[in-house]
Structure 1
Amino acid sequence: MQSPSDLAGRSQHQFPNVCHQQREGRRDKPRRSSQRTRAGKMPSLLEGIEAKYGRDSEDFELDIPILYVTRSNNAVPPVLVFNDFGIDSAGSEESLKSKCQNVQELDLAQNSLSQWAEVMTILRIMPRLRFANLSFNEFKKGISDDLLNGGFPKLKSLILNGTHIDWDSVRKLVTRIPSLEELHLSLNGYTYVDLADINKESPVLHEGIKKLYFTDNNVSSWREISKLGQAFPNLETLILADCPVTCLDVSSPPSSLETTPRYYRCESECEGSSRNVDSPHHWFRNLKFMNLNNSLLSSWDDIDRLACFPKLEHLRLHGLPLFDEHCPEFTKHERRQLLIARLPNIRTLNGGGEICHDDREDAERAFIRRYMDKPESDRPERYNDLVGLHGKLDPLVSIDLSPEKKVKITLIHGNKSELKCLDVYQTVAELKQKLEPHVKIPASKMKLYYVDQDLKAIHGPEDMRFPNKMIYSYNIKHGDEIIVDSKI
Structure 2
Amino acid sequence: MPSLLEAITEKYGSSEDDTFDQMPIAIYVPRKNPRNVLPKLLVLNDCDIDSAGNETDLRDKCHGVEELDLAQNRLSEWNEIFKILNIMPKLKFANLSFNNLSADINNTLPRGIMRDTYPCLKSVVLNSTNITWSSFKHILKKLPMVEEIHLSMNNYDVIELDDDENCQPIQIPSVTKLHFTGNPVSTWVEVCKLGRAFPNLESLVLAECPLLSLMTPPPSPDTHHSLLSYPKQETDSYDNMMDLPHDAFIHLRFLNLNRTLIRTWDDVDILGRFPALKYLRIQGCPLFEENPERQEYTEHERRQLLIARLPCIQTLNGGAEITADEREDAERFLIRFYMDKSEEERPDRYNEVVQVHGKLDRLVNIDLTPESKVPVLLVCGDKCESHTLDVYQTVLEFKQKLEKFFNIPAHRMRVFYADQQICSIVGPEEMKFPNKRLYSYNIVSGDQIIVDSKK
Q: TM-score range by the shorter chain?
A: 0.7 to 0.9
Do structure 1's residue 207 and structure 2's residue 173 form an aligned pair?
yes
- Structure 2 CA distance for partners of 1:457 and 1:346, relative to 1, 3 Å: closer
1: CA distance, partners of 2:364 / 2:7: 72
The Cα of 1:190 is off from its aligned counterpart by 1.6
DSSP-derived class of the 1:346 partner: coil
Do structure 1's residue 91 and structure 2's residue 65 form an aligned pair?
no
Q: Which has the larger radius of gyration?
A: 2
**Contact 2:392/2:438, CA 8 A, preserved across alignment:** no
Question: Which residue of structure 2 lines up, in the alignment, with residue 285 of structure 1?
Answer: 250
DSSP-derived class of the 1:377 partner: coil
Question: Which residue of structure 1 lines up, in the alignment, with residue 281 of structure 2?
Answer: 316
The Cα of 1:73 is off from its aligned counterpart by 2.4
1: CA distance, partners of 2:287 / 2:370: 31
**Contact 1:206/1:231, CA 8 A, preserved across alignment:** yes
Question: Which residue of structure 2 lines up, in the alignment, with residue 27 of structure 1?
Answer: none
- Structure 2 CA distance for partners of 1:376 and 1:475, relative to 1, 3 Å: farther
2: CA distance, partners of 1:107 / 1:207: 25
**Contact 2:395/2:431, CA 8 A, preserved across alignment:** no
- Structure 2 CA distance for partners of 1:100 and 1:472, relative to 1, 3 Å: farther
Amino acid paired to 1:204: I
**Contact 1:452/1:461, CA 8 A, preserved across alignment:** no
Question: Which residue of structure 1 lines up, in the alignment, with residue 118 of structure 2?
Answer: 152
2: CA distance, partners of 1:349 / 1:318: 10
The Cα of 1:399 is off from its aligned counterpart by 1.4
Do structure 1's residue 184 and structure 2's residue 184 form an aligned pair?
no
Question: Which residue of structure 1 lines up, in the alignment, with residue 358 of structure 2?
Answer: 391
Do structure 1's residue 46 and structure 2's residue 2 form an aligned pair?
no
2: CA distance, partners of 1:143 / 1:476: 79
- Structure 2 CA distance for partners of 1:243 and 1:71, relative to 1, 3 Å: farther
2: CA distance, partners of 1:452 / 1:161: 71
2: CA distance, partners of 1:165 / 1:400: 62
Do structure 1's residue 78 and structure 2's residue 37 form an aligned pair?
no
Question: Which residue of structure 2 lines up, in the alignment, with residue 216 of structure 1?
Answer: 182
The Cα of 1:209 is off from its aligned counterpart by 0.4
The Cα of 1:48 is off from its aligned counterpart by 1.6
Among 264, 269, 281, the alignment partner of 1:304 is 269
Question: Which residue of structure 1 lines up, in the alignment, with residue 313 of structure 2?
Answer: 346
2: CA distance, partners of 1:407 / 1:459: 13
For 1:413-455, what per-residue CA distance to the aligned partner results, in whole angstroms no more than 9, with x for missing partners? 9xx98xxxxxxxxxxxxxxxxxxxxxxxxxxxxxxxxx99969
Question: Which residue of structure 2 lines up, in the alignment, with residue 233 of structure 1?
Answer: 199
Do structure 1's residue 335 and structure 2's residue 302 form an aligned pair?
yes
Question: Which residue of structure 1 lines up, in the alignment, with residue 129 of structure 2?
Answer: 163
Amino acid paired to 1:124: N
The Cα of 1:105 is off from its aligned counterpart by 0.7
1: CA distance, partners of 2:438 / 2:254: 43
Question: Which residue of structure 2 lines up, in the alignment, with residue 136 of structure 1?
Answer: 98
DSSP-derived class of the 1:154 partner: coil
Amino acid paired to 2:336: R
The Cα of 1:473 is off from its aligned counterpart by 11
Question: Which residue of structure 2 lines up, in the alignment, with residue 368 of structure 1?
Answer: 335
Amino acid paired to 1:458: E
DSSP-derived class of the 1:84 partner: coil
The Cα of 1:56 is off from its aligned counterpart by 7.3
| Worse-superposed segment, 93-102 or 125-134 | 93-102
DSSP-derived class of the 2:124 partner: strand
The Cα of 1:143 is off from its aligned counterpart by 1.4
Question: Which residue of structure 2 lines up, in the alignment, with residue 29 of structure 1?
Answer: none
Question: Which residue of structure 2 lines up, in the alignment, with residue 264 of structure 1?
Answer: 238
**Contact 1:155/1:180, CA 8 A, preserved across alignment:** yes
Among 456, 459, 468, the alignment partner of 2:431 is 459
The Cα of 1:217 is off from its aligned counterpart by 1.1
2: CA distance, partners of 1:150 / 1:102: 20
TM-score w.r.t. length of structure 1: 0.69
- Structure 2 CA distance for partners of 1:87 and 1:394, relative to 1, 3 Å: same
Among 37, 46, 63, the alignment partner of 1:101 is 63
| Worse-superposed segment, 453-462 or 365-374 | 453-462
2: CA distance, partners of 1:407 / 1:192: 66
2: CA distance, partners of 1:226 / 1:473: 61
2: CA distance, partners of 1:375 / 1:43: 69
2: CA distance, partners of 1:372 / 1:192: 42
Question: Which residue of structure 1 lines up, in the alignment, with residue 26 of structure 2?
Answer: none
DSSP-derived class of the 1:389 partner: helix
**Contact 2:395/2:434, CA 8 A, preserved across alignment:** no
For 1:276-335, what per-residue CA distance to the aligned partner results, in whole angstroms no more than 9, with x for missing partners? 604111111110110001111100100011011111111111112111214212111111
The Cα of 1:52 is off from its aligned counterpart by 2.8
**Contact 1:221/1:246, CA 8 A, preserved across alignment:** yes
2: CA distance, partners of 1:80 / 1:292: 32
2: CA distance, partners of 1:410 / 1:72: 79
Amino acid paired to 1:263: S
2: CA distance, partners of 1:171 / 1:401: 65
1: CA distance, partners of 2:192 / 2:185: 11
The Cα of 1:400 is off from its aligned counterpart by 3.1
DSSP-derived class of the 2:242 partner: coil
DSSP-derived class of the 1:315 partner: strand
Q: Which runs of 5+ in 1 are unaligned?
A: 1-41, 58-69, 254-260, 270-275, 418-450, 465-470, 478-488
The Cα of 1:250 is off from its aligned counterpart by 2.7
- Structure 2 CA distance for partners of 1:366 and 1:71, relative to 1, 3 Å: farther
1: CA distance, partners of 2:105 / 2:370: 68
DSSP-derived class of the 1:183 partner: strand
Amino acid paired to 1:44: S
**Contact 1:317/1:350, CA 8 A, preserved across alignment:** yes
The Cα of 1:386 is off from its aligned counterpart by 0.9
Question: Which residue of structure 2 lines up, in the alignment, with residue 193 of structure 1?
Answer: 159
DSSP-derived class of the 1:195 partner: coil
- Structure 2 CA distance for partners of 1:386 and 1:452, relative to 1, 3 Å: farther
Instruction: Report the aligned-residue RMSD.
Output: 3.3
**Contact 1:124/1:151, CA 8 A, preserved across alignment:** no
Amino acid paired to 1:54: G
**Contact 1:194/1:262, CA 8 A, preserved across alignment:** no
- Structure 2 CA distance for partners of 1:300 and 1:127, relative to 1, 3 Å: same
| Worse-superposed segment, 396-405 or 154-163 | 396-405
